[in-house]
Amino acid sequence: MKAMILAAGLGTRMRPLTNHTPKPMLKVAGLPLIEHQVRRLVAAGITDIVINHAYLGEQIEAYLKDGSAFHCTIQYSCEPEPLETGGGIYKALPLLAGEGGDEPFLLVNGDVWLDMDYASVIHTPKTGLAHLVMVNNPDFNPQGDFYLANGLLASEGNGSAHTFSGVSILHPHLFKDCSAGIFKLAPLLKGAMATQQVSGELYEGFWLDVGTPERLQHLITHVSQSVNPHQARSNT
């Protein structure tokens, strides 16, 4: 399975830290955030990685290069202007979907941190158009995003919703009616949920959306207290 790391955001909430540095290149435990993601993917057995970028993306390419230093192959999808999540994935599909255009791939936001083993996600049998890893709602998203019941996700439901972690497995057919341009991923997911084509699982370990300088500092503190910041924890 291939993987895509989303790294094309402007990082406006991280300013001034991102005035001259793209957010995925901000450091935690001495390494850029995106390097941690690459290492975690390789540890899970994924060695074919695609990274999209826009704002100061040349810094990402200059650092990671072709991926050989990290025992993987990295290809880049450069966006002259950010295409939002859906548009960015669509542009990168030729690099992700395989020769037949129907190979699912792992999608990871470049600015999230989970102490989990990605292998636990990719090796679980799945059907449908998407599989999302959900987490308990953080303070900054108390209403959650989607409802999880009996292994399926819905945009409406009873009880409490959970928050999308930024980690998922997507099937290229999710984008079959799309065309090139700027568009979000969420409407596609909600459309697929309406026909019960989106499954999900709840991860209850440490997770953080590294969206602000305060959250970055929280992550740095968390990692400094970990025995091994690169030791992924399985979702049990």
Q: Which class is 2-224 in CATH?
A: alpha beta
The per-residue pLDDT string of the chain (236 residues; one tens digit each, 9 = 90 and over) reads 999 999 998 777 888 888 888 989 999 888 999 999 999 999 999 999 999 999 888 999 999 999 999 999 999 999 988 899 999 999 999 999 766 678 899 999 998 999 889 999 988 777 799 999 999 999 989 999 999 998 999 998 877 799 999 999 999 999 999 999 999 999 999 999 999 999 999 999 999 998 898 999 889 988 888 755 554 444 43
pLDDT the model gives residue 232 = 46
| Model-wide pTM > 0.85 | yes
pLDDT the model gives residue 171 = 94
Alpha-carbon distances of 187 from 97, 107, 136, 174, 231, rounded to whole Å:
21, 17, 22, 11, 34
Q: Which alpha helices (H) appear in 18-71, and where do they start and end?
A: 33-43, 57-64
Kindly state the helix (H) or strand (E) to which residue 165 belongs, with its residue range: strand 163-170
